[in-house]
Structure 1
């Protein structure tokens, strides 16, 4: 939820800056104002729903907008990519921060925390339906994520920011439309995470049932905490890394395999137990090493800075100083 607010603030401020008459001192150019307004007008009211099924149409709109954004990123790969100089180590297979990348990708794919809510919202909550939905949705997410990653990195290589739309120039109208779609997508996704957080709080502290007053109070507190943190911190990269390392990695690699090993009645050297043990070990290693590296070597953040290749004169000078490849 914190990362979604940061993305909203980063993205929509650049969209509003392109509106005629909106100058640098306009309130619409301050990310804090944007985050507060979006929270009060959109995300908080949507988060107050009790039934996650009410967000089905919202999720469908988000999927359509994601497709539009992907098309825009692919177009800019061919039109902007040749104008951006490639970094010297652009095509090295893996660098030292690959561990943090595993955490970020885990964060992108983690869906365990909302599984029960979504399963309960199905018209026919059967295991066969659930299996079909999860396989199709995760496969689609993998396909889209790979396209985003490849197109984004091919375009900007070592200059790629945690939020890829930070890389596009402010006067790029197509990218501005993409930013708008991206911001709307994030706004529509925010309530789903709030549903999960509220559900966990209800189960842990209130025996799974919230009165109307408690429902509203817990929702407001959760949204307020996430919003407060996102107002004072604006670098997306480290937020995604910490989310991935400390939350997603245990949910994806550690907790499921630990539960399986605990419940398994097979011998310790059974193939399923060995595979689970290997995944568990990798998960612990990724979480430990990734956390240390994230703290010691956080990703640089250039929030709000126009990239050098957005200025043709500077870009040509920069190109002339690059070593030959």
Structure 2
């Protein structure tokens, strides 16, 4: 069911009908959910993206992807206004029919599902190193086993949080995640100043551009996509108007850009060409400050997981049941989704490849192609004229990034060194222990 609301510009918008007394999100709560949905495991791969693209070009591409994400998010809501729909799936179905609905449903399911897999991989990478700093826990201890860490976080945290039926209840959890993200950012900046000068930069570390920059766009797209849950956050607003949504979008995406750029530059300048897909894999195991950062990031990822599960469950509900789920169905589908993600992540541990593939296969069409295509189909006028010019360019760029990025990822996959101690950690000149407090 939908209800009509007038936005501040006098345009009638459609938004999901909430039951009487069902809680709605404030602008602040919605912004926390929005920023938290952007700054997930993707942020940990941004230093690696700068390693692929080159520092100057990488920063330019990061800003460009941010602006495109911001523009296309608002374009989605404008498209829903033109078509009289209230979800990403219904918008595409009304615009491109059942084939469009099937394609979008697949992408909307695939992106958050793979994202949850990457969250579990990150959890396994980070928590095992955290546990090894506990006295008596060595590399052979069960707490140092990534499979155990993934199963423990799944049973104790991600599954219970994913069972929430209302996204508004995750607002406080998202706030905690934001606080932890700032703590992680401070730690990475500190280590850039204290550890970076002790690690010799690689050859051409400061070159303007590198040939595999397209792969970097895939990682950045993965980091900035939030389109798959934008309608859920929009529909949860106390006043879901286009003007309110635009302000929330600009604030959330802009904040995510500042945090992401600072994280990417600090991480890359510390390790330059040695930067891995999971930048925390670059820090030494006996680095206490980095260990605290790993703990914060692992907990932050655990609190982000339910947002992606919320979307995945919503896609299945719309595609299969086409109605609200009963309590039993809600629990059963949630357990299946979370269990499937845990099973896959137990057998695969190379984060960089996961970020690249999800970026070019899922995130790029969801950010660049589909929102622009829907708006062009619904908007009058020629494609290359007026307000249709930018959406047309986005479609062309999106297909280029998707095809080229997929090809290059297949031909030149990232070499994964999961769990290996970096060579500079054995260097006596590199001091990695945290200063006394």
TM-score bin (small chain) = over 0.9
Aligned counterpart in structure 1 of residue 280 of structure 2, from 146, 165, 175: 165
Query: TM-score w.r.t. structure 1 length?
Result: 0.94
Aligned counterpart in structure 2 of residue 45 of structure 1, from 160, 181, 184: 160
Asked if 1:216 corresponds to 2:216, the answer is: no
Q: 1:208 Cα deviation (Å)?
A: 3.2
Query: TM-score w.r.t. structure 2 length?
Result: 0.71
Q: Any idea what SS the aligned residue of 1:122 has?
A: coil
Q: 1:63 Cα deviation (Å)?
A: 0.3
Instruction: Indicate conservation of the 8 Å contact 2:198/2:429, yes or no.
Output: no
Q: For the residues of structure 1 that align with 2:383 and 2:279, how far apart are their CA atoms? A: 45
User: Which segment drifts farther, 124-133 or 211-220?
Assistant: 124-133
- 2:95 corresponds in structure 1 to none
Instruction: Indicate conservation of the 8 Å contact 1:308/1:314, yes or no.
Output: no
- 1:235 corresponds in structure 2 to 350
Query: Following superposition of structure 1 onto structure 2, how do residues 273-292 of structure 1 map, counting pairs within 5 Å?
Result: 273-292=388-407
Query: Following superposition of structure 1 onto structure 2, how do residues 1-325 of structure 1 map, counting pairs within 5 Å?
Result: 1-313=116-428
Q: For the residues of structure 2 that align with 1:131 and 1:257, how far apart are their CA atoms? A: 17
Encode CA deviations 1:76-101: one digit per residue, 9 max, x unaligned: 00100011111102112222221111
User: Which segment drifts farther, 69-78 or 124-133?
Assistant: 124-133
Instruction: Indicate conservation of the 8 Å contact 2:384/2:392, yes or no.
Output: no
Encode CA deviations 1:132-178: one digit per residue, 9 max, x unaligned: 21111110000000001111111100000111111111111111101
- 2:8 corresponds in structure 1 to none
Instruction: Indicate conservation of the 8 Å contact 1:257/1:276, yes or no.
Output: yes
Instruction: Indicate conservation of the 8 Å contact 1:162/1:237, yes or no.
Output: yes
Encode CA deviations 1:11-33: one digit per residue, 9 max, x unaligned: 00000001001122211000011
Instruction: Indicate conservation of the 8 Å contact 2:219/2:356, yes or no.
Output: yes
* Structure 2: runs of 5+ lacking an equivalent: 1-115, 431-437
Q: For the residues of structure 2 that align with 1:10 and 1:208, how far apart are their CA atoms? A: 38
Q: 1:128 Cα deviation (Å)?
A: 2.4
Q: 1:105 Cα deviation (Å)?
A: 0.6
Instruction: Indicate conservation of the 8 Å contact 1:199/1:208, yes or no.
Output: no
Q: For the residues of structure 2 that align with 1:97 and 1:225, how far apart are their CA atoms? A: 32
Q: Are residues 277 and 127 of structure 1, via their aligned partners in 2, closer, same or farther at CA, if it must alter by over 3 Å? A: closer
Q: 1:45 Cα deviation (Å)?
A: 0.6
Q: 1:267 Cα deviation (Å)?
A: 2.4
Q: For the residues of structure 1 that align with 2:407 and 2:323, how far apart are their CA atoms? A: 36
Q: For the residues of structure 1 that align with 2:192 and 2:429, how far apart are their CA atoms? A: 21
Q: For the residues of structure 1 that align with 2:213 and 2:344, how far apart are their CA atoms? A: 27
Q: Any idea what SS the aligned residue of 2:208 has?
A: coil
